[in-house]
């Protein structure tokens, strides 16, 4: 998975539909999430599409599997995950993920329907990181 800075660099050069295509491409690059992990327990609430996030990894290296039944939404999930993937739990727990995503201006680039679940995705990731970091 690409890191957030590389994605941002590419994103800044694109406009409109090209940005949508990049998000769809990012979604396709996510690690496969087995259907058995797509349960009510891993479902992110508040998203217009179905979104599942499953945390794996240890204190020194958090890893998340994620999926969505909508291509653009899956790309947004991939963007959120790219900000934290394979980083230490303590770093993710302190991280301003919302701030890290601000350069993508998702609220103005996408419909509010597509971005309404982003705070819930971020909260889920941060809660997991905080729990792991606390031991």
Residues forming the active site:
47
Q: Return the DSSP state at 39.
A: S
Q: Give the DSSP H or E segment for 87.
A: none
Q: How many Å apart are CA 118 and CA 120, to the nearest integer?
A: 5
CB of 54 within 8 A of CB of 124? no
């Amino acid at each position: 998975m690409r890191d957030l800075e590389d994605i941002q660099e590419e994103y800044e050069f694109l406009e409109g539909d090209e940005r949508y295509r990049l998000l769809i491409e990012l979604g396709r690059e996510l690690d496969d999430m087995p259907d058995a992990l797509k349960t009510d327990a891993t479902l992110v609430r508040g998203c217009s599409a179905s979104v599942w996030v499953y945390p794996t990894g240890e204190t020194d290296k958090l890893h998340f599997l994620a999926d969505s039944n909508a291509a653009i939404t899956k790309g947004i999930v991939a963007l959120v995950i790219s900000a934290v993937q394979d980083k230490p739990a303590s770093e993710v727990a302190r991280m301003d993920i919302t701030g890290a995503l601000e350069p993508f201006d998702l609220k103005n680039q996408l419909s509010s329907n597509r971005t309404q679940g982003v705070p819930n995705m971020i909260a889920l990731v941060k809660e997991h990181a905080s729990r792991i970091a606390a031991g």
